[in-house]
Amino acid sequence: MVDRLANSEANTRRISIVENCFGAAGQPLTIPGRVLIGEGVLTKLCRKKPKARQFFLFNDILVYGNIVIQKKKYNKQHIIPLENVTIDSIKDEGELRNGWLIKTPTKSFAVYAATATEKSEWMNHINKCVTDLLSKSGKTPNNEHAAVWVPDSEATVCMRCQKAKFTPVNRRHHCRKCGFVVCGPCSEKRFLLPSQSSKPVRICDFCYDLLSTGDLATCQPTRSDSYSQSLKSPLNDGSDDDDDDDSSD
């Protein structure tokens, strides 16, 4: 089915519309063999609050961006190669329902669909695209992924020292290895994580000690994927900056 659509006029037109919606700031999306599988609005759990994002699933990439004008204009385009993606379902908790994790070596995050059916369709289509890509390339599934950042709202004190309270002066920071929210003194060190950056990135002291001794697995997050506190804030309309960019602490 995908192969038949690859060179169809309708598929080319659909991809062109997506390109136009992102404008000149977006990357070109039309390449031979690429097919737009589907699109829709998902709630992405960002660093400070959950936000509505427009997602586009192609047979080889996942694209998302901020919604400026629905169906007409998007910005802050992000492109994720599907061959690096793994996904895991998240159990429903309170208002947070129909969610799953999108995990890649560079960045991982949680998204939520409006209904259980929509979640199932998204996950099934993503898994099929990933399976087809790996089958064609002969590559093995990726087992390395970046940590999912704990939302700011889930931590009133440093998750490592359990003492430092966060204030407008004592800012929150995120460890790039475990995703915990930590204070400045607990995350003064930098370590090179090649899958995330070409430069050393901020990590907490706990992960630094483990990485320095070669224990790469122990500093992965042990917390359950519970995000219920973060939905206490209303959804952002997507017009402001995406506050979970890699440049954020």
pLDDT one-digit tens code per residue, 19-38: 999 999 899 999 999 999 99
Q: How confident is the model at residue 163 (pLDDT cuts 50, 70, 90)?
A: very high
Please compute the mean of the pLDDT values over residues 3-11 and round it to a whole number.
77
How many independent structural domains does the chain possess? 2
What is the Cα–Cα distance from 154 to 181, expressed in whole angstroms?
8
Answer whether residue 75 is part of any domain.
yes
Please compute the mean of the pLDDT values over residues 56-76 and round it to a whole number.
94
Q: Quick one: which of 194, 174, 192 has its CA closest to 183?
A: 174
Q: In terms of residue numbers, what domain contains 118?
A: 1-137
What is the Cα–Cα distance from 171 to 155, expressed in whole angstroms?
11
Measured CA to CA in angstroms, residue 132 lies from 38, 128, 135, 216, 217 at distances of 16, 6, 5, 30, 29
- pLDDT single digits (tens) 123-138: 999 999 999 999 998 8
20 with 57, same domain: the answer is: yes
174 with 127, same domain: the answer is: no
2 with 120, same domain: the answer is: yes
116 with 190, same domain: the answer is: no
19 with 111, same domain: the answer is: yes
131 with 170, same domain: the answer is: no
1 with 98, same domain: the answer is: yes
Answer whether residue 233 is part of any domain.
no
1 with 124, same domain: the answer is: yes
User: Ramachandran region of residue 67, left (φ > 0), alpha (ψ -120 to 50) or beta?
Assistant: beta
Q: Which pLDDT score, from 0 to 100, does residue 71 have?
A: 81
Q: Which pLDDT score, from 0 to 100, does residue 117 have?
A: 97
Q: What is the DSSP letter of 27?
A: P
pLDDT at residue 246 greater than cutoff 50 = no
Answer whether residue 220 is part of any domain.
no
**What distance, in Å, lies between the first and last C-alpha atoms of the chain?**
43
CATH number at residue 159: 3.30.40.10
pLDDT at residue 245 greater than cutoff 50 = no
CATH number at residue 78: 2.30.29.30
Answer whether residue 124 is part of any domain.
yes
- pLDDT single digits (tens) 175-206: 999 999 999 999 999 999 998 999 999 999 99
Amino acid found at 92: D
34 with 77, same domain: the answer is: yes
Q: How confident is the model at residue 230 (pLDDT cuts 50, 70, 90)?
A: very low
Answer whether residue 67 is part of any domain.
yes
Find the Cα–Cα–Cα–Cα dihedral 180, 181, 184, 187, rounded to 10°. 10
Domain boundary among 113, 137, 161: 137
80 with 197, same domain: the answer is: no
Six-digit token pair at 80?
A: 């994720």
From 62-71, 131-140, 211-220, the region with the lowest mean pLDDT: 211-220
82 with 107, same domain: the answer is: yes
Domain boundary among 137, 168, 192: 137
Answer whether residue 169 is part of any domain.
yes
Answer whether residue 43 is part of any domain.
yes
Q: Which pLDDT score, from 0 to 100, does residue 52 have?
A: 95
Burial 148-181 (b: 16+ CB within 10 A, else e): bbbbbbbbeebbbeeebebeeeeebbbbbbbbbb
User: Going by C-beta distance under 8 Å and a sequence separation of 6 or more, which residues neighbour residue 217?
Assistant: none
15 with 127, same domain: the answer is: yes
Answer whether residue 44 is part of any domain.
yes
